[in-house]
Amino acid sequence: MNDAKRLNKYISESGFCSRREADKLIAANRVTINSKVPELGTKVLPGDIVKVDGNQIGTTANDKSDRVYIAYNKPIGITCTTERHVKGNIIDAIKHKERIFPIGRLDKPSEGLIFLTSDGDIVNKILRAENAHEKEYVVTVDKPISQTFINRMSNGIPLEELGKTTKKCKVKKLDSHTFNIILTQGLNRQIRRMCTYLGYEVQTLKRVRIMNIKLDVPVGKYREFTKDEIKTLNTLLEDSTKTFQAKQSRNRRKN
């Protein structure tokens, strides 16, 4: 039984989708194991045949050498969804030959760096706020930036509509209307909501870095990660958990 894998992990490692999306497919009865519809949490054994919508899912190489990792400079107007019926979806915009999906999202009016991959197993490791991976942005607002604005943005903003207060972050004024901000959270429209709370309106928002990878391709273009970038990324992700429960369990074992 040591070779058994949870079904959502098996699907995500195949490059078909993320674990979260795999759970949705399983719940919708779109997945079968050996022609039978499984439950959430079912384990896949060596030799089992897993299919999604009748199409067989293959296993991945142990070293993930067959996985795709790309950095894309998303233009304004592109929507970060894999739903092909959505006009301006990111999959049609990129036209990659492999089946890939975005890690996280950038709002339609925002631009800049976003990762896409066929490795569903790393998605939550990068995205979960508990793992505190940095994402850096350059933002222009509609009126002059004060030191009070910088201080308040840095120390946390209450977002009542989300029921949360943003974590402390690094904010630096670049010019009268532009600032740099480094977040370890990924709340919905976080920077825009923070600015609105302080009476500012975002004019432009560009993500320029995720973890160790910087934006270095023209708008609308992408490139594959280098071997060194993948190595560094994996090192940064070594201590990351895929779920908050997993981190709690690990901390209990340490104490």
Positions annotated as catalytic residues are 107
Contacting residues for 55 by C-beta, under 8 A, at least 6 apart: none
Instruction: Kindly state the tokens that stand for 234.
Output: 């994996």
CA distance 31 to 242: 22
Instruction: Kindly state the tokens that stand for 120.
Output: 């569903």
**What is the full DSSP assignment across 191-245?**
HHHHHHHTT--EEEEEEEEETTEE--S-TT-EEEPPHHHHHHHHHHHTT--SSHH
CA distance 196 to 209: 23
CA distance 41 to 6: 6
Q: How many C-beta neighbours within 10 Å does residue 123 have? A: 22
Beta strands 101-103 and 31-33 are: unpaired
Instruction: Kindly state the tokens that stand for 108.
Output: 């339609």
CA 178 to chain centre: 25
Closest CA to 125 of 12, 213, 40, 238: 238
